[in-house]
Amino acid sequence: MAISGQGRLRAARLGVCLMTWASPAMGQEPEERSLELRVGASAFYDSNAARSSRVQAAARGLAREEMEFRPSANAALVLPFDQHAFFADSQVGYEFHSRNKRLESERIAATGGVRLRRAGCQIEARATYSRRLSELADDFSATSGNVEQVSGADGELQCRKGVGLSPAASISYRRSRNAQEVRRRSDLNSLTLTGGIAYDQPSLGRLSLLASASDQSYPHRLSIAGRRDGIRTISGLLRLEREGGALLKGSVSAGYIHVDPDLPGVRGFEGPTYGAALRVTPGGRAALELTAERSVEASNRMDVSYYRQDRLGLSVHYVLGPRLNADLRGSWRRRRFAPSPAVPGVTPPGSDRSYVMGAGLQYALNRRVGLNLDVDYQRRDAAVDLFDYDGLRAGLTASYRL
């Protein structure tokens, strides 16, 4: 659980260090029909709900210390036909705040699509939609309480062979919009195309060579000369995925990216990228997960053309008993911002570093009822002291599967 409680929905992922756990090999067996319904409720104590320093919180008119309550409902559906399947997953909830009433907002997320399988290949097409309060920590203006909507569509082709070469391709489109008029300058359109080949070898895993081209633009952010802000990227990636093995599984990647800004005065970038998502299970009851990435992103939440990010994360999961699990987690993130000359009067901090430490307990009362207890501490050190902050967040979540 991130301390913000917001999660982090990225408007654009500029593709060379995209990290996902290796998916299982695609077979031709039909999927099982399923429907899962779940309701839940969370209560959090937050020592810094404003995600800012005392000075910035006062300027925004926000209380730093408060309670937050979140009821939610989730539905997941799979409808198979032949070797294929329709799928849908949705969550609807609401945020209630004890003091910062203007931060109250609905939380909606939905995904739906179809998976088609034939001759060892899978084609997946899906549409996505989300609506939620913008992350306060990623807003360097004096405004707060903005609600953002992100809609999009994705298509992916992936083929698997026992041994040999196979194609891989994907397309992704995102459209991000902000409710507040002053935040419309950060509305974002994003299109990414990826293609390449993969080599499967049981003793090695899956080795993929991919190339991506991406176009990110801010349709309501124009320079004095009338030019639109945005970036274009070209990147390459070499990724190795290992699915089998009781000790180690996951993926590692290395690549190179070139970033070409649309506006004069915005510095471009090119350089290496990397990614890793590894799970180590040495035996017994413990499991370790390591994540690492370097990426370049445009954002509908910040008044910048783009930013570069390095992130490291480590978590330890431990089975305490048949119904009780525990985890410890920590992460570090560094970002470097490229300011947009089309946004006067707003200056991002240039760079920042964030640190998160947390722990959690998960208890299964029975097969329907679950309880989660989480505590997280976060600190941000920015190049401008005004944007420094820290905070403690502790919460209890109860869920019930219908």
Q: How confident is the model at residue 11 (pLDDT cuts 50, 70, 90)?
A: very low
Select the more confidently predicted residue: 175 or 163. Answer: 175
Highest mean pLDDT among 48-57, 142-151, 283-292, 369-378: 369-378
Q: pLDDT tens, 287-316?
A: 999 999 999 999 988 889 999 999 999 999
Neighbours of 285 (CB within 10 A): 12
What confidence score (pLDDT) does residue 28 get?
Answer: 54
- Domain covering 34-401: architecture: Beta Barrel (2.40)
How far is the C-alpha of 91 from the C-alpha of 374, rounded, in Å?
Answer: 21
pLDDT in tens, 242-277: 987 778 899 999 999 999 999 998 999 999 999 999
- For the chain, the domains span 34-401
Q: Which two tokens stand for residue 10?
A: 């990225």
Q: Which two tokens stand for residue 330?
A: 């920590």
Q: Which amino acid is at 177?
A: R
Phi/psi of residue 345, nearest 5 degrees: 80, 0
| Reported confidence tier of residue 29, pLDDT bands at 50, 70, 90 | low
Could you give the C-alpha distances from 349 to 259, 333, 387, in angstroms and in order? 21, 15, 7
